[in-house]
Amino acid sequence: MHLLTPRLVPISFSLTICAAMVASTFIAPAAMAQTSTTAVRPYNIPAQALGGALSTWAAQAGVQLKLQQSVVAGKTAPAVQGNYSDREALDLLLAGSGLMAAQDGSAVSIQAVAQPATVTMQNVNVTANRLGRITEGSDSYTPGTIATATRMVLTPRETPQSISVVTRQEMDDFNLNSIDQVMMHTPAISIVTYDSERTEYYARGFAIQNFQYDGIPMTRNSSYSAGNTLSDMALYDRVEVLKGSTGLLTGSGMPGATINLIRKKPTRKFSGNASLSAGTWNTYRGDIDVGGTVNDSGSVRMRGVAAYQDKQSNLDRYSRSTSTLYGILEADVAPNTLLTVGADFQNNTPKASTWGGIPLLNAKGEFNDMPRSHNNGTNWSHWDQYTRTAFATLEHKFANSWIARLQYNHQINGYDAALGAAASGFPNPADGKGVSMWVGKYVGRTVSDAFDGYVSGPFSLGGREHELVIGGSLSKSRWTNNGYSAPSSYSTTVPDFYHWQGNVAEPAWPATPGFGNDETTRERGLYAAARWDLHDSTKLITGGRWSSYRNREQNMEESGVFVPYVGAVVDINKNYSVYASYTNIFSPQSNQDAQGRTLAPVEGKNYEVGMKGAFFDGRLNASAAIFELVQDNFAIETSGKTPMGGVAYRAAQGVKTKGYELELSGQLAAGWQMHAGYSHNVSRQQGEQVATLTPSNQFSLYTSYKQNALTLGGGARWQDKTWGDISKPNGETIRHTVDSYWLFDAMARYEFSKQLSASVGVKNLFDKKYYTIFNWYSTYTWGEPRSVNMNVNYKF
């Protein structure tokens, strides 16, 4: 069935955005019919005396207010800016004041209470924090506010960069239990599969190596994968992907994007849910999630999540079990001071892991077309991965609306891998000979400690109110790895590749490792950013970071590296804004020139201009961006040698990526949610197109519609052709091209009551047969066939 040709995709998506914008004129009255308890609206209340702030709130909410000035005398209120319901905005103004709001006929009155802390805690239901607005319970596919770009809590429209967010509702609707599945839903993100345990995410032509957890940067070692791309989504409220260079808060890294995983937070009311699911290939899963207050006053709150999944696969003999635990506790240690501590744990235990993929060509140089169930791994092959994380945050709100926040994250990412796979060579179609095994054992872990502290708040200058963030961060990461090789007597020959079943003995690994790694990376930085209110319609963000980096084992040491940040947003009217930004990031390198001097860090510069729209009080967001990303100081090998006899390099202009992105997320009408995107980018190095393992053009659209107790949804994603240079049996290099393809998903959920619901989801609805390649090893990996999953959920 031919729905859209590739060249019609951008036109179709542009029409979708236009239709949504036009529809806002007609849908808005119905959308605004929600009660003031749940509907959100934009609030812009500056920090001031509490009486004035409450009067401003009443005017913006359209509510009659009964207020005695003696009750609020001498009290101040923080700034409330962003999209909130009327009650949420009021709660934020009253927090810590010792006052409470009460319904008084058709008006709202403000009253003092006998026990301020107790009553205040009971009447505040936190839906926003310094990480942005919580998406859980919003029933939305778009975020309210985010803080990944600058630490300032801003709406997507106020943020002068492209950012995509997959919310808790979208994850629940489409049964997105892994970060791989979330990335498939994220516009402009592509995935390259190395083997059963490793995937790599790409944005704007570059691999994504920068991860954040609640805004704390952590770096992934993709060669020795240790849990980053196997994260279970049970403990996360949302996943934010900030596109382009992100050095202001990240420090060092690659310029494509940063993935920020935001954890679930405790609830002030006791609530929870439990679910059981079963699906294709004997996939079974159970989750339980419980949260609420610990004491009568509600000043201590906690939440716990547990999940277990046992999954077989379309691959013969392969299976993986995943166990996840998460606990978090919040305590109001003082009226304006919040302490948060928590920990999470995840084990990923696979059996018959693949290593690399299927050889692309046979001995005749033809495509080696193997069944989708083919597993190149041995029966003993496994790549166990685990994560252990402990974190703490201390936050204090001052009377002048300034906030101080200290964050600490301790994380262990480990692996224990004994791997064997039939992946090297070119099988002879006649007898299956010509292939050998890759064999190796690797045991290691990365222990990371990261600390970040900052202060943030408003200040007045030139008769206008601005916002400032000043902070600093320290991090230390130690990677240790032991590698073991099979004895020389161990045979790696595969007698018959076409009848391979992995039935070979595991090598007798030596008692001591044959090689190892022990590397410590230290980073520190100071950052600052200011949001200047130049005009009612114009905001300018300026900032920068001073960074230092040291990895002595790799001979990489940089100090005083300055990373600038500039962004401007101009409101055209109440719905539309235009923006422009320049962001930067750097990555130290150990390559040396002929004089023995270490090359300057690779620098990633991102230039971006675009337009954003927000409709229905921020419940629908749209964006269009044009960008150019340049990576400079790229190391190019020369014919010379370093003084120590190594290969000499020279620094040159590296990869340049140009492209554009379109995205739409949120509510199109009551009960109708959508998340869609189209992206185009081409990367070139010295005029030649590179990064061709990822598509130049991508399209995705996921939507759901809820009518009473029934929710129906579906999605589609398309990617353009990809290609890479591979080796033929005779040593000749040729280009292998993977055709473009469409994939479709579907879901349905029925709510039998407020507590009980059941859902069914289908991925790859039309059972499309497709694959991705990894040209470095001249291998390929089949995508998953059609799968069906059924889930039952009970809320309590």
DSSP-assigned states of every residue in 483-514: EE---TTS--EES-GGG-----PPP---SS-S
Q: What is the largest CA-CA distance in the chain?
A: 94
Side by side, which strands form the sheet with 198-203? 190-195, 198-203, 206-207
CA distance 796 to 793: 10
* CATH code of the domain covering residue 110: 3.55.50.30
Q: Which two tokens stand for residue 621?
A: 């967001």
- Tell me the CB-side half-sphere exposure of residue 611, using CA atoms within 13 A: 6
Query: Alpha helices, DSSP H only, in 420-567?
Result: none
Residue 174 belongs to a domain: no
Cβ contact 556:587 at 8 Å: no
Of 109, 125, 141, the one marking the end of a domain is 125
Cβ contact 699:688 at 8 Å: no
Beta-strand relationship, 80-85 and 40-45: antiparallel
Residue 6 belongs to a domain: no
Map residue 696 onto helix, strand or coil.
Answer: coil
Residue 707 belongs to a domain: yes
Q: At what angle do helices 116-123 and 86-94 cross, to 10 degrees?
A: 160
Cβ contact 194:200 at 8 Å: yes
pLDDT at 219: 78
b/e per residue 105-127 (b: at least 16 CB within 10 A): eeebbbeeeeeebebbbbbbebb
Cβ contact 777:357 at 8 Å: yes
**Are 120 and 269 in the same domain?**
no
Q: Which two tokens stand for residue 325?
A: 């635990």
b/e per residue 145-161 (b: at least 16 CB within 10 A): bbbbbbbbbbbbbbbbb
pLDDT at 463: 93
CA dihedral of residues 356, 358, 362, 366 (deg, nearest 10):
-110
Residue 156 belongs to a domain: no
Alpha-carbon separation of residue 707 from 203, 670, 711, 793 (angstroms)? 36, 9, 6, 19
Which of 235, 131, 240 minimizes the C-alpha distance to 178? 235
CA distance 230 to 180: 7
Number of domains in the chain: 2
Q: Is 233 left (phi over 0), alpha (psi -120 to 50) or beta?
A: alpha
What value, to the nearest 5°, has the Cα angle with vertex 348 and ends 347 and 354?
Answer: 160
Which of 170, 268, 152, 193 minimizes the C-alpha distance to 528? 152
Phi and psi for 437 in degrees, rounded to 5?
-95, 150
- CA 607 to chain centroid, in Å, comes to 21
CA distance 182 to 239: 8
Q: Is the dihedral of CA 24, 30, 33, 34 positive or negative?
A: negative
Of 97, 125, 153, the one marking the end of a domain is 125
**Are 119 and 267 in the same domain?**
no
Placement of tokens 């579907």 in the chain:
746
Residue 577 belongs to a domain: yes
Of 61, 96, 125, the one marking the end of a domain is 125
Residue 235 belongs to a domain: no
Phi and psi for 60 in degrees, rounded to 5?
-75, -30
Beta-strand relationship, 634-641 and 647-652: antiparallel
CA distance 316 to 313: 7
Residue 697 burial (CB count, 10 A): 19
Alpha-carbon separation of residue 728 from 368, 428, 431, 535, 735 (angstroms)? 12, 13, 19, 63, 10
CA dihedral of residues 722, 725, 726, 730 (deg, nearest 10):
140
Q: Which two tokens stand for residue 468?
A: 């400032």
Q: Is 777 left (phi over 0), alpha (psi -120 to 50) or beta?
A: alpha
Residues in the chain with pLDDT values less than 70? 1-40, 74, 82-83, 96, 105, 113-128
Domain that holds residue 71: 34-125
Cβ contact 129:78 at 8 Å: no
pLDDT at 44: 79
Residue 189 belongs to a domain: no
Residues 6+ apart with CB under 8 A from 580: 160, 567, 568, 608, 609, 610
Placement of tokens 């937070």 in the chain:
265
Cβ contact 782:764 at 8 Å: no
CA dihedral of residues 511, 512, 514, 516 (deg, nearest 10):
130
pLDDT at 685: 87
Phi and psi for 17 in degrees, rounded to 5?
-65, -45
Burial class (CB in 10 A: 0-12, 13-18, 19+), 142: buried
Residue 192 belongs to a domain: no
